[in-house]
């Protein structure tokens, strides 16, 4: 939809939600509610239930029953595909409602939110095809008396813990693939951005998803997120969020050795060679760090630029940064909205102060962006950054770019790989040999050449090193949620063992 086709305003009253289990909305009852204020306007926009561990237990029981009685996994892939396609249509029919809630809760620009909701529908459409394409293998080469089959089965009940930066898009990169595989889900969205996940439950239900297959329980990470990760009757956890919580999810999974998929932090390099189209590269670098106000796990936060053009390129980047339109997310012209929470804002400003203290050269930004309500940060660039500075190595998760320079290709690769993370990287050069050599040597799950933060459901995503384990999206993303079973079928008469 066209962002200009509607007038976007903050609703007069906060919208109140129950939670969604066994195909229906559940009332809050005597559970406390959480009020979410728009980070850009400081006004309450949603109220969601703070569910309890008992609610997690109940939702897991419901999801277990729905899995065991095969009401979903027993259907032909074609029927699962049909539900996913209807869900995609349901999402498209409610783009405006979903995008407004997404923008209000997260602080992201409305135009971007619309793109993410429509992008989510597109992923559902892709995954519908994957539900039909998923298949196993046959070994017909074991002799006349044996046939070997490799079948894929849904892994079971999946606990899905998602973050606040792309609440609906990250959800859509997982849910349709998990459903395509035939699993059932207990979803725990971020406590600050739960609305669109709750509405997805309603959309899936309206699309004909059987009750109990997709359940949403809202509330705090340390309480119910942890309970879900620990739960003995959950077969797999898919977690997206901070590296620290990812580690605790992994430890919590040890109780029943559940499978864990983790998408964690990043400190992603933007490697710019002197032979790149510098204007386009600078545009990509600015987009890569300002998109979603830098709160993007694959955001390019480390510019690694060839020394011979470093001064020219720094000036180009700074000039473009100055033209980024910051402000009210509900203004269709806004390119960069608010920082999600006061805590995240403090973290970002803390890193900016650390950069100044540790001796990096401030090129632009370096402070909050003034506003009557909510919290915003000016796009910030630090040059002369050395590896021992905290801004060089730690994930800031805000619009803060560091610049370091290189003189040789090997040096560029060493700096690019000098991180505990390995989520994404971008390479800018007009030399195909150099680009190919670079993308082969960079240790990251996603590499972009002459572009950045591009995606599509066909290609998998996930991290090397401490950026995580497992892959989402593509056919890999469906297989991730399956178990592989080997079956030997003996044919003809058995050769007796007992004589």
Catalytic residues: 263, 297
**Is position 400 an interface residue for ligand TXE (rule: CB under 6 A)?**
no
**Is position 165 an interface residue for ligand TXE (rule: CB under 6 A)?**
yes
Single out the residue of 24, 145, 222, 386 in contact with ligand TXE (rule: CB under 6 A): 222
Residues between 126 and 145 that touch ligand TXE (CB under 6 A)? none
- The total number of residues written for the chain in this structure: 499
Single out the residue of 163, 261, 288, 374 in contact with ligand TXE (rule: CB under 6 A): 163
Single out the residue of 105, 235, 263, 480 in contact with ligand TXE (rule: CB under 6 A): 263
Single out the residue of 63, 130, 229, 272 in contact with ligand TXE (rule: CB under 6 A): 229
Decide whether 161 or 309 has the Cβ nearer to ligand TXE: 161
Query: Helix axis angle, 432-441 relative to 409-416, nearest 10°?
Result: 40
Residue whose CB is nearest to ligand TXE in the complex, by number: 221
Place of tokens 């119910």: 224
Report DSSP state, residue 7. Answer: -
Single out the residue of 176, 212, 221, 462 in contact with ligand TXE (rule: CB under 6 A): 221
**Closest distance of CB 272 from ligand TXE, Å:** 24
Q: What burial class does residue 379 get, using C-beta atoms within 10 Å of its C-beta: 0-12 exposed, 13-18 middle, 19+ buried?
A: buried
Work out whether strand 421-422 and strand 464-465 pair parallel, antiparallel, or are unpaired: antiparallel
Single out the residue of 225, 294, 422, 462 in contact with ligand TXE (rule: CB under 6 A): 225
**Is position 473 an interface residue for ligand TXE (rule: CB under 6 A)?**
no
Number of residues that bind ligand TXE (CB under 6 A): 27
Decide whether 291 or 397 has the Cβ nearer to ligand TXE: 397
Residues between 332 and 351 that touch ligand TXE (CB under 6 A)? 344, 347
**Closest distance of CB 297 from ligand TXE, Å:** 3
Single out the residue of 241, 284, 294, 299 in contact with ligand TXE (rule: CB under 6 A): 241
**Closest distance of CB 152 from ligand TXE, Å:** 27
> At a CB cut-off of 8 Å and minimum separation 6, what does 357 contact?
none
Q: What are phi and psi of 377, to 5 degrees?
A: -130, 140
Distance CA(400)–CA(360), nearest Å, equals 12
Decide: 250 and 237 in contact? Cβ < 8 Å: no
Distance CA(485)–CA(432), nearest Å, equals 42
Decide whether 38 or 165 has the Cβ nearer to ligand TXE: 165
**Is position 242 an interface residue for ligand TXE (rule: CB under 6 A)?**
yes
Single out the residue of 161, 179, 209, 216 in contact with ligand TXE (rule: CB under 6 A): 161
**Closest distance of CB 182 from ligand TXE, Å:** 25
Catalogue the E-assigned strands of 40-119. Answer: 44-49
Distance CA(342)–CA(252), nearest Å, equals 28
**Closest distance of CB 48 from ligand TXE, Å:** 12
Decide: 208 and 214 in contact? Cβ < 8 Å: no
Distance CA(299)–CA(301), nearest Å, equals 6
Distance CA(239)–CA(469), nearest Å, equals 10
Place of tokens 């849910």: 175
Instruction: Build a one-symbol-per-residue string for 349-388: x at contacts with ligand TXE by CB under 6 A, - elsewhere.
Output: ----------------------------------------
As beta bridge partners, residue 488 has 148
> At a CB cut-off of 8 Å and minimum separation 6, what does 160 contact?
171, 174, 175, 178, 185, 186, 187, 188, 237, 238
**Closest distance of CB 335 from ligand TXE, Å:** 20
**Is position 265 an interface residue for ligand TXE (rule: CB under 6 A)?**
yes
Decide whether 51 or 114 has the Cβ nearer to ligand TXE: 51
Residues between 270 and 309 that touch ligand TXE (CB under 6 A)? 297
* CA 210-127-74 angle, 5° bins: 40
From 84-92, 112-120, 137-145, 239-247, give the range in contact with ligand TXE by CB under 6 A: 239-247
Decide whether 252 or 427 has the Cβ nearer to ligand TXE: 252
Burial 404-438 (b: 16+ CB within 10 A, else e): bbbeebeebbebbbebebbbbbbbbbeeeebbeeb
Decide whether 223 or 358 has the Cβ nearer to ligand TXE: 223
List residues binding ligand TXE (CB under 6 A).
161-165, 188, 190-191, 221-222, 225-226, 229, 240-242, 245, 248-249, 263-265, 297, 344, 347, 395, 397
């Amino acid at each position: 939809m066209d962002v200009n086709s509607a007038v976007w305003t903050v609703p007069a009253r906060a919208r109140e939600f129950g939670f969604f289990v066994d195909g229906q909305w559940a009332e809050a009852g005597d559970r406390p509610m959480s009020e979410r204020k728009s980070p850009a306007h400081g006004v309450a926009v949603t109220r969601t239930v703070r569910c309890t561990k008992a609610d997690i237990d109940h939702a897991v029981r419901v999801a277990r029953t729905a899995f065991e009685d095969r009401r979903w996994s027993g259907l032909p892939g074609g029927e699962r595909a049909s539900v996913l396609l209807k869900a995609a249509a349901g999402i498209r029919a409610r783009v405006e409602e979903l995008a407004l809630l997404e923008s209000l809760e997260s602080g992201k620009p409305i135009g971007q939110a619309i793109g993410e909701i429509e992008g989510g529908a597109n992923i559902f459409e892709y995954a519908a095809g994957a539900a039909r394409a998923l298949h196993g293998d046959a070994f017909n080469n074991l002799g006349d008396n044996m046939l070997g089959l490799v079948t894929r089965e849904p892994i079971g009940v999946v606990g899905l813990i998602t973050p606040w930066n792309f609440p609906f898009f990250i959800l859509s990169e997982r849910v349709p693939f998990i459903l395509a595989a035939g699993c059932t889900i207990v979803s725990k969205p971020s406590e600050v951005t739960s609305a669109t996940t709750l509405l997805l439950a309603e959309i899936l239900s309206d699309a004909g998803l059987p009750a109990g297959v997709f359940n949403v329980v809202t509330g705090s990470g340390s309480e119910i997120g942890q309970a879900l990760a620990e739960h003995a009757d959950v077969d797999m956890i898919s977690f997206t969020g901070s590296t620290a919580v990812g580690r605790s999810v992994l430890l919590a999974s040890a109780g029943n050795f559940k499978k864990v998929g983790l998408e964690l932090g990043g400190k992603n390099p933007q490697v710019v060679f002197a032979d790149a189209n510098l204007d386009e590269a600078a545009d990509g670098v600015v987009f890569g760090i300002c998109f979603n106000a830098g709160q993007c796990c694959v955001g390019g936060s480390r510019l690694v630029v060839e020394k011979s053009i470093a001064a020219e390129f720094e000036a180009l980047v700074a000039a473009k940064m100055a033209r980024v339109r910051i402000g009210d997310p509900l203004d269709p012209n806004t390119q960069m909205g608010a920082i999600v929470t006061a805590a995240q804002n403090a973290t970002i400003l803390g890193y900016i102060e650390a950069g100044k203290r540790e001796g990096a050269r401030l090129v632009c930004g370096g402070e909050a962006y003034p506003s009557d309500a909510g919290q915003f940060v000016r796009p910030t660039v630090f040059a002369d950054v050395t590896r021992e500075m905290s801004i060089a190595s730690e994930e800031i998760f805000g619009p803060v770019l560091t610049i370091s320079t290189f003189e040789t290709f090997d040096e560029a690769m060493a700096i690019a790989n000098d991180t505990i993370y390995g989520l994404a990287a971008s390479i800018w050069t007009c030399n195909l040999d150099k680009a190919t050599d670079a993308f082969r040597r960079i240790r990251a799950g996603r590499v972009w050449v002459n572009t950045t933060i591009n995606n599509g459901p066909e290609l998998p995503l996930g991290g090397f090193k401490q950026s995580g384990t497992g892959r989402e999206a593509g056919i890999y993303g469906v297989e991730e949620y399956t178990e592989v079973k080997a079956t030997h079928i003996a044919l003809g008469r058995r050769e007796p063992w007992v004589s």
